[in-house]
Amino acid sequence: MKKPLFLLGVLLILFAVGYAVGRIVRAHCSERVVVVLSTNDIHARIRRFPQLASAVAQCRDTLGAGRVVLVDAGDRWTGNAYVDLAPEPGQPVLDLMNRLGYDVATLGNHEFDRGQAALGRRIAEGTAFPVVCANVRSDTCTFPQLPAHAVLERDGVRIGVVGVVTNYEGPGHPAGNAASFVGLRFPDPQQAARDAADALRGEVDVLLLLSHMGDDRDLELLASGEQRYDAVIGGHTHVVRDTTIGRTLLTQTGKNLAAVGATTLRLRGRRLVGADFRLVPLDGYAPDSAFAAEVARCYDNPELNRPVGDFAAAAGKTGLGNWICDRIAAATGAEIGIYHVGGVRIDTLPAGGVGLARLYDLEPFSSRIARVRMTPEQLRRMILLKYNDGENRKEAHRIDLIATTPYTIVVDAEDRAVDVRFPALREGRAYEVALGDYIFRNYAGVDRAAGGITERRVVDVLFDDLRRAPVLPDNAPRQRREPRP
């Protein structure tokens, strides 16, 4: 009797050992798949959320929700009056992201457009997912100190997600008015990304960087030999990017929620054995009805839907910029009007009626008009410094300043601006110049002691002009660049 029992015990032990060994073999030899869905630079384009919701639901249904991660790389608002002018500015896009179940996000520069106190409230009270940023330091009571990273677990895989935001445009902080950043510090994002990765080493199986530095800075980081990250999910420069540097995947989805990124991570045991990226256009998805109803409620705003006036012809970005320059100069009695192309937030406006919401889409910042006296030499210096800007490269090497007065930027063989010619201005004479307050506050070369910011808002000036008569836009460029002879 004892012998059969002994044999049974041995068999049970062998079975248990075999089962344990089998589990170990399966864990280390079978392939596991996790998909990271990513957005960047949504800019409040919530009309696309119903399609995004369908795409995310399909991925979760196919793989199982436990194998899907949903992330955002910054700039969630600024670009849609129905979001930006909501009772709680920006909250409509956060409500949709909360409902869709985002797992983690980082900051973009436009998160600060309403000031750090407003952003602090949105993070503390309106955001259901963690916001991570390794290169922001807060000494204020209005803005919470954010964590550098979050750790997510999917199908037994530990995924570390680090966030960084640009500090190049300020300089020393993201693009925006300096008042929004008082009490905040933004250390070098590239070094912060390295330090955060080192802090997570050994704790996670996969390491992702949510970067709002721009793909040029991401490439710079990776080209320096950085191999700590398995994938960099980027934003800020509004490009489509699918590149592998060394072993690191670098991605970006463009802007305005035209597409969602799908990064597929394949692991054998806890070792990453493959990663690839696919850009998924959202046009191919039928809108989710519940999300469509929520978006429709956001757009049910009689004040913003009210028509203001008409455009007699279609306007492109140049035509819209020229219109702004003309109107701010006329409204303040200035001889020259200047506006920056980054402040023109829509690319085209068709002929026909224009509602109040569209005006706010064009100029969503509540910018005020500044006046300053400048000579052609001072204007030349401002334009040269902006064109050759080595820090804020997103706005460099382009005609960034639109003006009522024509000018030509002369560039050398390396595309460095060496001169600016003003055919209609007299050297040595000081001119009254109307500027957007962003230029007045932030651009190098402006003598701020020679002027000041008025109480007149740019959007109000445009509203008054549109209300008086149909606008016939001038789409002809007034500025150009040419190679040095």
Residues 274 and 201 in one domain: yes
Residues 179 and 308 in one domain: no
Q: What is the pLDDT of residues 33-71, one digit of tens each?
A: 999 999 999 999 999 999 999 999 999 999 999 999 999
Q: What is the pLDDT of residues 258-277, one digit of tens each?
A: 999 999 999 999 999 999 99
Q: What is the pLDDT of residue 169?
A: 86
In a domain, 292, yes or no: yes
In a domain, 118, yes or no: yes
At residue 460, φ and ψ (nearest 5 deg) are: -70, -40
Residue 13: band (very low, low, confident or very high) from pLDDT cuts 50, 70, 90: low
Percent of the chain whose pLDDT exceeds 70: 94
Using the predicted structure, report yes or no on whether residue 6 has a pLDDT greater than 60: no
Q: Which residue has the higher pLDDT, 255 or 8?
A: 255
Residues 416 and 281 in one domain: no
Q: What is the pLDDT of residues 152-201, one digit of tens each?
A: 999 999 999 999 999 998 889 998 888 899 999 999 999 999 999 999 98
Residues 284 and 368 in one domain: no
Domain end position, chosen among 244, 269, 297: 297
How does 238-259 read in b/e, with b if 16+ C-beta sit within 10 Å? beebeeebeebbbbbbbbbbbb
Using the predicted structure, report yes or no on whether residue 134 has a pLDDT greater than 80: yes
In a domain, 354, yes or no: yes
Using the predicted structure, report yes or no on whether residue 20 has a pLDDT greater than 70: no
Using the predicted structure, report yes or no on whether residue 485 has a pLDDT greater than 70: yes
Q: What is the pLDDT of residue 227?
A: 87
Residues 247 and 175 in one domain: yes
Q: Which tokens sit at 304?
A: 């913003």
Closest CA to 39 of 281, 274, 298: 281
Residues 371 and 289 in one domain: no
Using the predicted structure, report yes or no on whether residue 28 has a pLDDT greater than 50: no
Report pTM.
Answer: 0.87
Residues 359 and 261 in one domain: no
Mean pLDDT, residues 356-375 taken together: 96
In a domain, 422, yes or no: yes
Q: What is the pLDDT of residue 24?
A: 41
Q: Which residue has the higher pLDDT, 347 or 18?
A: 347
Domain end position, chosen among 238, 270, 297: 297
CB of 149 closer than 8 Å to CB of 160: yes
Using the predicted structure, report yes or no on whether residue 29 has a pLDDT greater than 80: no
Domain end position, chosen among 256, 281, 297: 297
Residues 280 and 326 in one domain: no
Q: What is the pLDDT of residue 10?
A: 45
CB of 282 closer than 8 Å to CB of 259: yes
Q: What is the pLDDT of residue 342?
A: 93
| Count: domains in the chain | 2
In a domain, 16, yes or no: no
Closest CA to 380 of 322, 422, 347, 330: 422
Q: What is the pLDDT of residue 4?
A: 52
Using the predicted structure, report yes or no on whether residue 283 has a pLDDT greater than 50: yes
Q: Which residue has the higher pLDDT, 409 or 2?
A: 409
Average pLDDT, the chain: 93
Residues 354 and 233 in one domain: no
In a domain, 447, yes or no: yes
In a domain, 1, yes or no: no
Q: What is the pLDDT of residue 190?
A: 97
Q: What is the pLDDT of residue 226?
A: 82
What CATH number does the domain containing 159 carry? 3.60.21.10
Q: What is the pLDDT of residue 26?
A: 44
Residue 25: band (very low, low, confident or very high) from pLDDT cuts 50, 70, 90: very low
3-class SS letters over the chain: CHHHHHHHHHHHHHHHHHHHHHHHHHHHHCEEEEEEEEECCCCCCHHHHHHHHHHHHHHHHHHCHHHEEEEECCCCCCCCHHHHCCCCCCHHHHHHHHHHCCCEECCCHHHHCCCHHHHHHHHHHHCCCCECCCCCEECCCCCCCCCCEEEEEECCEEEEEEEEECCCCCCCCCCCCHHHHCCEECCCHHHHHHHHHHHHCCCCCEEEEEEECCHHHHHHHHHCCCCCCCEEEECCCCCEEEEEECCEEEEEECCCCCEEEEEEEEEECCEEEEEEEEEEEHHHCCCCHHHHHHHHHHHCCHHHHCEEEEECCCEEHHHHHHHHHHHHHHHHCCCEEEEEHHHCCCCEECCEEEEHHHHHHHCCCCCEEEEEEECHHHHHHHHHHHHCCCCCHHHCCCCCEEECCCEEEEECCCCCEEEEECCCCCCCCCEEEEEEHHHHHHCCCCCHHHEEEEEEEHHHHHHHHHHHCCECCCCCCCEEEEECC
Q: What is the pLDDT of residue 30?
A: 79
Residues 261 and 394 in one domain: no
What CATH number does the domain containing 461 carry? 3.90.780.10
Using the predicted structure, report yes or no on whether residue 242 has a pLDDT greater than 80: yes
Query: What is the domain extent for residue 110?
Result: 31-297
Residues 323 and 392 in one domain: yes
Residues 150 and 290 in one domain: yes
In a domain, 356, yes or no: yes
